[in-house]
């Protein structure tokens, strides 16, 4: 893939949103804003997108890319699933597992980072995405953790970083 035309995503799990769940009152405007930023990236020429496939922002972004790819198949959009380890969805709800399986099946490429469920493999997954993209679209809850670490890493790598503040939907 050409890194200059690749965009990746990061953001919190639903339990780490300011509203601490997947409440539609907040998720709908959040995903609309995420779609707007993805469409802006497409307008800039981005065609390859990498999702870390976690519940929450990663899977919202993957779903949006697939939706746009279906609407505008002539654009040649591709989705890569960067999976930190194969057992990532094991502790999720059945609904989350099903959505994950559908997204994984529709992805053009799957990259498995490690075999064990470790923080190190989550971090390696995040670094892989940044290392292979020139843009990061982030939903940042300002909490320390993987999202903030990924944003900081992207900045050290001089990637373009677009940050969506989830608090703007929680007023």
**pLDDT tens digits for range 26-46:** 899 999 999 999 999 999 999
Reading across the β-sheet that carries 109-112, which strands appear in turn? 109-112, 78-83, 48-51, 6-10, 135-139, 160-164
Class of domain 3-131+139-169: alpha beta
Query: Would you say the pTM of this structure is higher than 0.85?
Result: yes
Residue 108's contacts (CB-CB under 8 Å, 6 or more residues apart) are 78, 79, 80
**CA neighbor of 59 nearest in space, from 128, 9, 3, 94:** 9
160 phi and psi angles, rounded to 5 deg: -70, 130
Q: What is the pLDDT of residues 54-111, one digit of tens each?
A: 999 999 999 999 999 999 999 999 999 999 999 999 999 999 999 999 999 999 999 9
pLDDT at 1 over 90: no
Examine the pLDDT at 114 and tell me if it is beyond 70: yes
158 burial (CB, 10 Å; 0-12 / 13-18 / 19+) is: exposed
CA distances for 136 relative to 105, 154, 160, angstroms: 23, 7, 6
Please list, residue by residue across 70-83, b when 16 or more beta carbons sit within 10 angstroms of its beta carbon and e when fewer do: eeeeeeebbbbbbb
Domain coordinates of the chain in residue numbers?
A: 3-131+139-169
The number of C-alpha atoms within 13 Å of 36 and in the hemisphere containing its C-beta is 9
Our measurement of the distance from residue 96's CA atom to the centroid of its chain's CA atoms, rounded to an integer in Å, reads 15
- Is residue 7 left, alpha or beta, with left meaning phi > 0 and alpha meaning psi from -120 to 50? beta
């Amino acid at each position: 893939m050409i890194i200059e035309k690749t965009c990746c995503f990061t953001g919190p799990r639903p339990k780490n949103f300011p509203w601490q769940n997947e409440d539609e009152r907040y998720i709908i405007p959040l995903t609309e804003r995420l779609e707007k930023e993805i469409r802006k990236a497409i307008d800039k020429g981005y065609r390859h997108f990498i999702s870390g496939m976690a519940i929450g922002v990663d899977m919202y972004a993957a779903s949006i890319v697939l939706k746009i790819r279906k609407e505008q198949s002539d654009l040649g959009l591709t989705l890569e699933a960067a999976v930190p380890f194969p057992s990532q969805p094991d502790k999720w709800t059945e609904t989350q597992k099903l959505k994950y399986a559908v997204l994984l099946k529709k992805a053009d490429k799957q990259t498995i980072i490690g075999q064990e469920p470790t923080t190190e493999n989550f971090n390696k997954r995040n670094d892989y995405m940044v290392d292979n993209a020139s843009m990061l679209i982030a939903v940042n809850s300002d909490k320390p953790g993987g999202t903030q670490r990924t944003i900081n890493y992207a900045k050290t790598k001089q990637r373009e970083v677009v940050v969506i503040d989830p608090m703007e939907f929680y007023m």
